[in-house]
Amino acid sequence: MASHMARLRKWSRLQRLGYAAYRRYSNSSSYPNIPLSIPLPGIPKPIFAAVDGQETYETKITTLENGLHVASQNKFGQFCTVGILIKSGSRHEAKCLSGISHFLEKLAFFSTAQFGSKDEILLTLEKHGGICDCQTSRDTTMYAVSAEVKGLDTVVSLLADVVLQPRLTDEEIEMTRMAVRFELEDLNMRPDPEPLLTEMIHAAAYRENTVGLPRFCPVENVDKIDQKVLHSYLQNYYTPNRIVLAGVGIEHEQLVGCAKKYLLGITPVWGTGKPKDIDKSVAQYTGGIIKIEKDMSDVSLGPTPIPELSHIMIGLESCSFLEEDFIPFAVLNMMMGGGGSFSAGGPGKGMFTRLYLNVLNRFSFINTHTSSHRSLYSIFYHLPLFDLQVREMVEIITREFILMTGAVGEKVRIRKTGKQIWLTLFLEKASRPRIFSKLRVGKKKKKKRYLECNTVGNVKASDIKRVATKMLRSKPAVAALGDLTELPTYEHIQAALSSKDGRLPRIYRLFR
């Protein structure tokens, strides 16, 4: 009874004064009075990782007896990225049908000697939490898998089977033909024509050689590519001395052991004959112009047609990443920047680059104005705009090219641009796919040595003027798409880039 009355008194006090008044606070004397700067007694001393400022994991490279290279870089984590990189791409198709690399990309991870279908491959990877992908560029073909480290043996076995033992059945090739036709139709119908313009600018800059060859399969070659053509190409370019087995997040000795087990002494499905007709040509920059007159008004996702726009790219030859001028070119590209008139990233993104300040903020009829320093070793400007301002826009581009050789700006802007480039490089070091894509023999070492000798912080205004002047000595590469009635001639564009102010030659007309 007494306990019941005590509970009632507590409840009535809680109702009258609230929960804060009922809460009882502990006496400070019951707790040890220890400041936060002193470790608590009875707790083991923590052991922290030592940071010496140097890279813990280095790239290791091993060459097997058959010439195949194994490159790896260990990285903390439960997952790894392993793949096979082959020195093969559209630039090597000079002596064969264009589009073979495009077909091989679509045929990757289909049926092999070990796996009866693509579903079996995906189920095998699913047991180790893995995903697979194949990508082809102009000079490299990459087969990659990301999975748990425990499944490394299965992953390397699967990759070796996919690369060296594909079945390439008639049914799979016919399905690939349908996929390639659909991709080509989509390429011509999508509202953003940048992939098509990129193909055109490469073809104009390196006409009919190496990186100027089409990356996508031409329509006339879709029905010509069959198993015999593919096997002939694979025999020439899928040889051990052109293959790199790369891995990120694994021990190098373990990867070398898997390579010896599954990639050494294996007879590929196309036989062991010696390679014939290997293309060893060097890229020759030619410059030129490629134009496609096209009605862009019907390229719309809805019933309302989009405004008819004209798209222009202008490029000039720059340099390779192995050359000394690569860093000044990278700083120049970052300073030029650019962007779109509307950006989903919100206001402020790219607002202080040259192309944003000098072009997008001044001319309302421009939709997008960007620059890029790509594998073509050129700087591009991509400009969707209304057709009536095509001539004026081309003059704006040529004027911006000429201004590169003028006043670069204060040292603060160059220093900020260099820090931004370094930030990009450091972010790439934390990305496993980015590290994997750069694990080619010697490439990472050369790049590291090169960056040590030519740091971004040492770039001066005189270096930027020098590389810009050197770039302007080359012939321009021009790609134009859409209504090109007012497009200046190639000779006029070349004359504007050779002038002091970048202006096009005047044209006098009696009638408009």
pLDDT tens digits, 162-197: 999 999 999 999 999 999 999 999 988 887 788 899
Average pLDDT value over all residues in the chain = 82
- For residue 82, how far is the Cα from the chain centroid? 18
Indicate the SS3 state at residue 289. Answer: strand
**Cα(117)–Cα(192) distance, rounded to whole angstroms?**
35
Rg (CA), the chain: 30
For position 442, what pLDDT does the model report? 46
Q: Provide the token pair at 441.
A: 């023999």
Q: Is 439 helix (H, G, I), strand (E, B) or coil?
A: coil
**What pLDDT was estimated at residue 305?**
62
Q: Which residues of 47-69 are buried (b: 16+ CB within 10 A; e: fewer)?
A: eeeeeeeeeeeebbbbebeeebb
Q: Which residues contact 178 (CB under 8 A, 6 or more apart)?
A: none
Phi, psi dihedral angles at 51 (to 5 degrees): -110, 115
CATH for 59-262, among 3.30.450.20, 3.20.19.10, 2.130.10.10, 3.30.830.10?
Answer: 3.30.830.10
Q: In the chain, count H helices and then E strands.
A: 17, 12
From the list 163, 164, 155, 158, the residue with the least C-alpha distance to 247 is 155
Class of domain 288-498: alpha beta
SS3 category, 114 = coil
Which two three-digit tokens encode residue 493?
A: 């564009």
Nearest to 219 by CA among 97, 86, 353, 38: 97
Q: Are 67 and 186 within 8 A, CB to CB? A: no
Tell me which residue of 75, 44, 18, 149 sits closest to 435, measured CA to CA.
75
Compute how many other C-beta atoms are within 10 angstroms of the C-beta atom of residue 135.
13
Three-state DSSP class for residue 138:
coil
Q: What angle (nearest 5°) sits at the alpha carbon of residue 69, between those of residues 66 and 75?
A: 150
- Residue 340's pLDDT is 64
pLDDT tens digits along 398-447:
998 998 887 665 666 777 777 777 777 777 766 677 677 767 644 444 44
CA 102 to chain CA mean position, Å? 17
- One DSSP character per residue, 458-494 reads G--HHHHHHHHHHHHTSPPEEEEEE--TTPPPHHHHH
Torsion sign (Cα): 216, 246, 144, 78: negative
Query: What tens-digit pLDDT sequence spans the chain (512 residues)?
Result: 556 566 666 556 555 555 444 455 445 555 667 788 887 878 888 777 665 555 567 889 999 999 999 999 988 889 999 999 999 999 999 989 999 999 999 999 999 999 999 999 999 999 999 999 999 999 999 999 999 999 999 999 999 999 999 999 999 999 999 999 999 999 888 877 888 998 999 999 999 999 999 999 999 999 999 999 999 999 999 999 999 999 999 999 999 999 999 999 899 999 888 888 888 888 899 999 999 988 766 665 566 666 667 888 899 998 887 788 888 888 888 888 766 665 544 444 556 777 777 887 787 777 676 767 654 545 555 566 655 688 888 998 899 899 888 766 566 677 777 777 777 777 776 667 767 776 764 444 444 444 544 467 788 888 888 999 999 999 999 999 888 888 999 999 999 999 989 999 987 665 65
Phi, psi at 290, each rounded to 5°: -130, 125
pLDDT of residue 31: 61
Closest among 428, 432, 444, 440 to 147, alpha carbons compared = 432
Q: How far apart are CA 14 and CA 459, in angstroms?
A: 73
**CA of 329: how far to CAs of 260, 377, 421, in Å?**
41, 10, 12
Lookup result for tokens 């102010």: 501
Q: Which residues pair with 243 in a beta bridge?
A: 86
Nearest residue to 445 (alpha-carbon basis) of 58, 84, 137:
58
How many residues in the chain? 512
Tally of CB atoms within 10 A around 178: 11
Q: Is 62 helix (H, G, I), strand (E, B) or coil?
A: strand
Give me the pLDDT at residue 445, please. Answer: 47
Q: Name the residue ranges covered by the structural domains of the chain.
A: 59-262, 288-498
Integer Cα distance of 144 and 79 in angstroms: 13
d(CA 193, CA 310): 10
